Structure 1
Amino acid sequence: MSCPQNLDAAAMRGRLAALLMEKSYRAGEITLTSGRKSDYYFDCKQTALHPEGAWLIGNLLFDLLPADIVGVGGMTLGADPLVTAVSVASFLRHRPMPAFIVRKASKGHGTNQFLEGLSNFQPGDKVALLEDVVTTGGTLLTVIDRVQDAGLTIGAVVTVLDRNEGGSQRLAERGFPLLSIFTREALVAAAKEQPAS
């Protein structure tokens, strides 16, 4: 496919849906990180690490961010390509945002920090947390605590796919409404609307 830079938001969303269904979505019973059983598996990294997929995800996540957000971050490993894609998209769109990564465990040496990239931020900066897929929201609740402990303010929580399995409700109870590019139903519907390539 040629360079998609002239696509509007609706066309980008449709193209991303097609890529996600091709590269990231697999039907069949699977046990999720939460321990729950599901009739499908969603591995967003396969699309987020694809050049067109990264471009689409970066721009579509960027479009969901409130105007007062100054940076983006998330838990390694799922959020790593997302925060990079959004940070690059933000620069190209003349609203540059640095990114940070939240470690699963502190370094254990040096500064012993959970967050990498903090030197690009000031205490109190309003940031968005990015996640590839939200099921129960447990990972995001951990990230929220670590980011707040590091002195940043969380202004948005954004995901590529909300599985609609309780995560958005748990986040809302903590005061963090979840923004998403897709739910499962919306993803499948958007992919069906795309012409065969």
Structure 2
Amino acid sequence: MSCPQNLDAAAMRGRLAALLMEKSYRAGEITLTSGRKSDYYFDCKQTALHPEGAWLIGNLLFDLLPADIVGVGGMTLGADPLVTAVSVASFLRHRPMPAFIVRKASKGHGTNQFLEGLSNFQPGDKVALLEDVVTTGGTLVTVIDRVQDAGLTIGAVVTVLDRNEGGSQRLAERGFPLLSIFTREALVAAAKEQPAS
């Protein structure tokens, strides 16, 4: 496919839906990280690590960010390509935002920190947390605590796919509404609207 830079937001969303369905969405029974059973599996990394997929995700997540957000971060490994894509998109769109990555375990030496990239931020900076897929929200609750402990303010929580399985409610109870590019239903519907390539 030729360079997609002339696509509007609706066209980018449709193209991303098609890529996600091709590369990341698999029907069939699976046990999720939460322990729940599901009739589909969603591996966003397959699309986020694709060149066009990264460009689309970076721009669409960027479009969802409130105006007062100054940086983005998330839990390794799922959020790593997302925060990089958004940071690069932000620079190209003249609103540069640094990124940070939250470790699953503290470094264990040196500063013993959970966050990588923290030197690009000031205490109190308002940041957005990015996640590839939200099911119960358990991972994000851990990330929220670590980011707040590091002195940053969370201004938004944004995901590529909200599975609508309790995660958004759990985050709302903590005071963090979840913004998403897609729900499962919206993803499937948007992909069906795309012309065959």
TM-score over 0.5 for the pair:
yes
Per-residue deviation, residues 99-153 of structure 1 (Å, max 9, x unmatched): 0000000000000000000000000000000000000000000000000000000
Cα distance in 1 between the residues matched to 2:108 and 2:91: 33
Distance 2:119 2:6 in 1: 34
Give the aligned length. 197
For structure 2, the 5+ residue unaligned runs are none
RMSD of aligned residue pairs (Cα, Å): 0.1
Work out whether 1:75 is the aligned partner of 2:75: yes
Q: CA offset at residue 88 of structure 1?
A: 0.1
- Point out where structure 1 has 5 or more consecutive residues left out of the alignment: none
Does residue 189 of the first structure (1) align with residue 189 of the second (2)?
Answer: yes
Deviations 1:33-86 (A, max 9, x none): 000000000000000000000000000000000000000000000000000000
Per-residue Cα deviation, 1:9-43 (whole angstroms, up to 9, x for no partner):
00000000000000000000000000000000000
**Secondary structure, in 3 states, of the residue corresponding to 2:111?**
coil
Runs of 4+ in 1 over 4 A off after TM superposition: none
State the SS of the aligned residue for 2:95.
Answer: coil
1:2 aligns with 2:2: yes
3-state DSSP class of the match of 1:2? coil
Does 1:11 find its partner at 2:11? yes
What is the DSSP-based 3-state SS (H/G/I as helix, E as strand, rest coil) of the residue aligned with 1:154?
strand
Identity %: 99
C-alpha separation between the residues in 1 aligned to 2:86 and 2:105?
24
* Matched residue, 2:29: 29
Residue 179 of structure 1 aligns to a residue in which SS?
A: strand
> What corresponds to 1:98 in structure 2?
98
1:163-190 deviations in Å (ceiling 9; x for gaps): 0000000000000000000000000000
The equivalent residue for 1:50 is 50
Note the C-alpha offset of 1:96: 0.1
- How many angstroms apart in 2 are the aligned matches of 1:99 and 1:107? 18
TM-score normalized with structure 2 length? 1.00
Alpha-carbon distance between aligned partners in 2 of 1:170 and 1:9, rounded to the nearest angstrom: 29
Q: How far apart, CA to CA, are the structure 2 residues paired with 1:51 and 1:183?
A: 23
